[in-house]
Amino acid sequence: MPRPSQSVIKSPLMGHQIICSCSLHAYHVFVQAAVVCQGLLQYLAVAFPKCAWDAFGSWLRTVRPGIPPSELAVANALRQPPRPSCH
């Protein structure tokens, strides 16, 4: 039968397991947030292409009418001050 003092001692691996578990959780939360943000950028590109192209403050060779902007173009457009013309 183990003595009470021996049953209370935690192994050093328990602390590492907790740290790894917390790190893995933080990684999953970060990836989930990135996926949500990517989806929002795609939605804005499809739903409001004119607003995104009008607010895009840079030059692209691939700007064509009828083609929605990329996520990069939408992200850059969101960094610009809002314009009253977009609804």
Tell me the per-residue pLDDT of 42-87, one tens digit each, with 9 for 90 and over: 999 999 988 888 887 777 666 777 888 989 989 988 888 877 766 6
Q: What is the pTM of this model?
A: 0.68
Q: What separation in angstroms does the CA of 28 have from each of 10, 18, 22, 64, 69?
A: 28, 15, 10, 37, 28
Task: Please give the pLDDT value at position 18.
Answer: 77
Residue 23 has pLDDT above 70, yes or no: yes
Task: Please give the pLDDT value at position 40.
Answer: 96
Residue 39 has pLDDT above 70, yes or no: yes
User: Which structure tokens are listed for 84?
Assistant: 């009253």
Task: Please give the pLDDT value at position 47.
Answer: 93
